[in-house]
A and B are shown apart, each in its own frame.
Chain A
Amino acid sequence: MDSSVEPTRQLIRLRGRSYVAFVFTPVVPIVGWLEEIDATLARSPDFFVGKPVVLDLSAVDLSQSAVVHLVKSIEQRNIRVLGFEGVDAAHLDASMPPLLTGGRHCAPQLAVAEKRETKPQLTSLLLDSPVRSGQSVIFTEGDVTVLGSVGSGAEIVAGGSIHVYGTLRGRAMAGVNGNSSARIYCQSIEAELIAIDGYYQTAEELDADLRSRPAQARLDGKIMRITPLN
């Protein structure tokens, strides 16, 4: 009996995958262009580490020896050449990186990485001490919450709503960016002025029954509605 085992054939799986690479577009004179690369490296020596590049030679007309010399010059600067674009295939021999086609433009990855480092924008501001007379808190990005009172002569300006867990004696201006659905809440209303999206009411116009009570202010069309909470 034939004991030899028929080798199972290994299937080659072919998958497509795309990568983002830097594309260098050398221009004449090549010496001047290489100096530019050196200047970049002087500023940040690790800039090209782990980032292979593609050479786009469509802007220059180089002989085969010139292409070989260029690749050497670049590799001397510790930059790996991944492939070529825009060059006659006849100029490249087997020892050189291959010719690439079908590349598409994309935004440089670096910019994306930098954006991720910035903190996500805050949408609310929390103040855990009283806001004193003469202080002005301006936060146009969103809501302001105060754990304490807002003194007479103090001012809170918010892009969103304002919450005061204390007595509101100063001015409160909510929805300053045109947000008419912003509201103002406080534990005790003795405000000098209340405004939402530019529509305001002064202390004089405030209903006397509401004074020193927990209240909510909202905008109903062009009318300021101040209603007691509970």
Chain B
Amino acid sequence: MAKVLVVTSGKGGVGKTTSTAAIGAALAQAGQRVVVIDFDVGLRNLDLVMGAERRVVFDLINVVQGIAKLPQALIRDKRLDNLWLLPASQTKDKDALTEEGVGRIIKELRTNCDWILCDSPAGIERGAMLAMRHADEAIIVTNPEVSSVRDSDRIIGMLDSKTARAEKGERVEKHVLITRYDAARAARGEMITIEDILEILATPLLGIIPESQDVLRASNVGSPVTLNNPASAPARAYLDATKRLLGETVPMLVPSGRKGLMNLLLGRRAA
């Protein structure tokens, strides 16, 4: 029986799609059968990040509406044969998603794979609600800045009240994933600290992904960062986070990054 994992945040541009692709690929590398579903109807991106944009025939909406069968719409990854993508529709409206249709797809997928990753759209509207609806676990992607943290808090509240599990009185297991963490700026006190984020969100930490050019580079070539350059700092952080997701205990490393000359000269700010 598969676990349904929603990757959500409330705020846009924090790295939901990048994280879905990276963790989805890392889980597949670990031998799990993984399906990643793009719920961002109308603004799909996961197909680009996964490098499958030229192979899309049917999409999520087609399956919801019964125009296509689920196996027809699933796109198998070219690099990992136990990783599939269910793309969103770019032309349809978000209202084309129905709760009944999404429930049917999740139910069908649950019997055939190990992990179902739902890439949520930004916001708290229909798409985001349906992406989290059937979740067993949730990754809340947060940037170290106040607006992102507050939006994450809002989303955690909804995970605790609006999901199918919450309505049955069960819990959705939640993890915070801090992305775009800039060690140099954190050292200068320009970012909200990890301790503060965790204190505000009162939710366990899954990992800290450093801000890196490697993420953008991987997106541009259509490859999850964990496949494109597994030795890079963000890829290692995603691989560690994935191990934690699978139940391993991995020490949490705060990415420090190399200090430049200016940092050495001007290391500490006077009070």
Contact = CB atoms under 8 A, between A and B. Distances in A.
Interface of A: 129-135, 148-149, 151-154, 167, 169
28 contacts: A131-B157, A132-B153, A132-B154, A132-B156, A132-B157, A132-B158, A132-B160, A133-B151, A133-B157, A134-B124, A134-B154, A134-B157, A135-B157, A135-B161, A148-B202, A149-B199, A149-B202, A151-B153, A151-B157, A151-B200, A152-B146, A152-B153, A152-B200, A153-B153, A154-B153, A154-B157, A167-B200, A169-B200
B69 interface: no
Given A149-B202, A151-B200, A133 B160 contact: no
A226 B142 CA distance: 33
A149 B200 contact: yes
Contacts of B154: 132-134, 151, 153
Nearest to B152: A133
A148 B202 CA distance: 9
B150 interface: yes
A114 B151 CA distance: 47
Nearest to A190: B200
A131 B146 CA distance: 17
A43 B109 CA distance: 51
B30 to A, nearest CB: 32
A52 to B, nearest CB: 48
Contacts of A148: 202
Contacts of A153: 150, 153-154
Query: Which of B146, B151, B202 has the most chain A CB within a 10 Å cutoff?
Result: B202
Contacts of B146: 152
Contacts, number: 42
A135 to B, nearest CB: 5
Nearest to A166: B202
Contacts of B158: 132, 134
Contact of A133 (B153, B161, B199): B153
Interface of B: 124, 146, 150-151, 153-154, 156-158, 160-161, 199-200, 202
Nearest to A130: B202
The 10 A-B pairs with the shortest beta carbon distances in the complex, nearest first, are A132-B157, A133-B153, A133-B154, A134-B154, A151-B153, A135-B157, A152-B150, A132-B153, A130-B202, A133-B150
Query: Majority SS of interface residues in chain B?
Result: helix
A152 B192 CA distance: 15
Contacts of A131: 157
Query: Majority SS of interface residues in chain A?
Result: loop
A151 B160 contact: no
A153 B199 CA distance: 16
Given A132-B156, A149-B199, 14 more contacts: A132-B153, A132-B157, A132-B158, A132-B160, A134-B153, A134-B154, A134-B157, A151-B150, A152-B146, A152-B150, A152-B153, A154-B153, A167-B200, A169-B200
B153 A129 contact: no
Nearest to A188: B199
Contacts of A132: 153-154, 156-158, 160
A132 B33 CA distance: 34
Nearest to B146: A152
A46 to B, nearest CB: 36
A192 to B, nearest CB: 11
B159 to A, nearest CB: 9
Contacts of A151: 150, 153-154, 157, 200
A129 B160 contact: yes
A135 B150 CA distance: 12
A133 B146 CA distance: 12
A149 B157 CA distance: 12
A131 B160 CA distance: 11
A130 B150 CA distance: 13
Contacts of A133: 150-151, 153-154, 157
B165 to A, nearest CB: 15
A148 B200 CA distance: 10
Nearest to A148: B202
Contacts of B153: 132-134, 151-154
A148 B199 CA distance: 10
B64 to A, nearest CB: 28
Contacts of A130: 202
A135 B159 CA distance: 12
Nearest to A134: B154
Contacts of B156: 132
A151 B203 CA distance: 13
Contacts of B161: 135
Contacts of B202: 130, 148-149
